[in-house]
């Protein structure tokens, strides 16, 4: 989906720098602390640090210099990035990963923290706000993009549903009986559901299209009226009780409704080249002394 690709593009400018800075930041300097041994042959933090600097130091330092320039220019122009905006962008990233659990797993795998990502989002938002006034996007460009990608903006039929996932049919029937007796769906989801990604939010799955879910699950959800609750539905994951919260009908792509979104997509497409040009200009305006390479 375009939305997913766009978000990924927005926060990739400084991601490499984050990972390298994290590694070098842990090493320090002038440190004889032992980090490994091969029999009695020791490897110190100094050795590790020196190799990291030799292999990646120049690249990381360039990224840190760029970060300082961006911060300085943002302060000059009084560009503020509210915490609410950072949280909103972070939530989009989590959504694109498939939920908070999948996001946290990816962050753990790559060795990032949420604070690293928030810092990166802030930097990229500053870049966007700094460069946006200088990037021109003509109406004809927006119209052309829409015509060439019209199917992308078409709204497929969607359902907003919640579910309670249990392991056995017996448990599913027990939950169904309680729901029929008037017990609260969200409360029962927290109590019974095995889906750790959404049980605490009442089993909320948000809006989804038919192809987003296993066919037996989708068929049951799309067949229900708004507010209706299904009988137990068996899938490879177990037994589901599904409640439909809302529906959206299929709708053809509309230019006016998608105009702002397309403009943002085109803006982000142009940002990397605009940033390189802008940054080269800023390098001539700042007095920069690089003691790592200028020896």
Q: Are 82 and 62 in the same domain?
A: yes
pLDDT value for 295: 58
Q: Are 27 and 114 in the same domain?
A: yes
Q: What is the pLDDT of residues 175-234, one digit of tens each?
A: 999 999 999 999 999 999 999 888 988 999 989 999 899 999 999 999 999 999 999 999
Q: Are 241 and 281 in the same domain?
A: no
CATH number at residue 163: 3.10.50.40
Q: Are 14 and 41 in the same domain?
A: yes
In a domain, 295, yes or no: no
Q: Are 132 and 224 in the same domain?
A: no
Confidence of residue 31 (pLDDT cuts 50, 70, 90): low
Q: Are 108 and 45 in the same domain?
A: yes
In a domain, 294, yes or no: no
pLDDT value for 233: 96
pLDDT value for 99: 75
pLDDT value for 8: 42
Q: Are 9 and 114 in the same domain?
A: yes
Kindly report whether the global pTM for this prediction surpasses the value 0.75. no
In a domain, 197, yes or no: yes
Confidence of residue 57 (pLDDT cuts 50, 70, 90): confident
Q: Are 166 and 270 in the same domain?
A: no
In a domain, 67, yes or no: yes
Range of the structural domain that residue 57 is part of: 2-141+255-285
Q: Are 202 and 70 in the same domain?
A: no
Q: Are 34 and 99 in the same domain?
A: yes
CATH number at residue 48: 1.10.4030
In a domain, 150, yes or no: no
pLDDT value for 194: 95
Top pLDDT among 7 and 66 is at 66
Q: What is the pLDDT of residues 101-131, one digit of tens each?
A: 788 888 888 888 999 999 999 999 999 999 9
Give the integer Cα–Cα distance in Å for 192 and 202: 10
Domains: count for the chain: 2
- Looking at every residue in the chain, the average pLDDT score rounds to 87
Q: What is the pLDDT of residues 222-270, one digit of tens each?
A: 999 999 999 999 999 999 999 999 999 999 999 999 999 999 999 999 9
In a domain, 290, yes or no: no
Q: Are 205 and 244 in the same domain?
A: yes
* pLDDT(23) > 50: no
Q: Are 209 and 278 in the same domain?
A: no
């Amino acid at each position: 989906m375009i939305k997913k690709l766009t978000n990924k593009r927005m926060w990739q400018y400084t991601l490499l720098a984050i990972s390298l800075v994290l590694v070098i930041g842990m090493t320090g300097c002038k440190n004889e602390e032992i980090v490994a041994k091969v029999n009695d042959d020791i490897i110190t933090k100094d050795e590790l640090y020196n190799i990291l600097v030799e292999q990646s130091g120049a690249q990381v330092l360039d990224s840190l210099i760029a970060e300082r320039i961006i911060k300085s220019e943002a302060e000059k122009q009084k560009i503020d990035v509210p915490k609410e905006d950072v949280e909103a962008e972070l939530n989009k990233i989590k959504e694109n990963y498939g939920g908070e659990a999948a996001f946290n797993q990816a962050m753990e795998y790559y060795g990032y923290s949420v604070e690293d990502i928030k810092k990166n989002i802030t930097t990229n938002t500053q870049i966007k706000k700094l460069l946006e006034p200088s990037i021109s996007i003509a109406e004809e460009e927006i119209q052309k993009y829409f015509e060439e990608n019209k199917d992308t903006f078409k709204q497929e039929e969607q359902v907003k549903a919640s579910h309670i996932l249990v392991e056995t049919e017996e448990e599913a029937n027990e939950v169904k009986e309680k729901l029929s007796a008037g017990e609260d769906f969200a409360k029962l989801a927290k109590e019974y559901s095995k889906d750790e990604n959404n049980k605490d939010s009442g089993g909320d799955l948000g809006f989804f299209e038919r192809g987003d879910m296993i066919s037996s699950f989708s068929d049951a959800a799309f067949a229900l009226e708004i507010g209706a609750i299904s009988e137990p539905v068996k899938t490879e994951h177990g037994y589901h009780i599904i409640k439909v919260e809302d529906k959206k009908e299929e709708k053809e792509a509309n230019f006016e409704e998608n105009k702002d979104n397309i403009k943002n997509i085109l803006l982000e497409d142009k940002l990397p080249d605009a940033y390189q040009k802008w940054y080269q200009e800023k390098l001539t305006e700042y007095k920069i002394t690089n003691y790592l390479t200028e020896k």
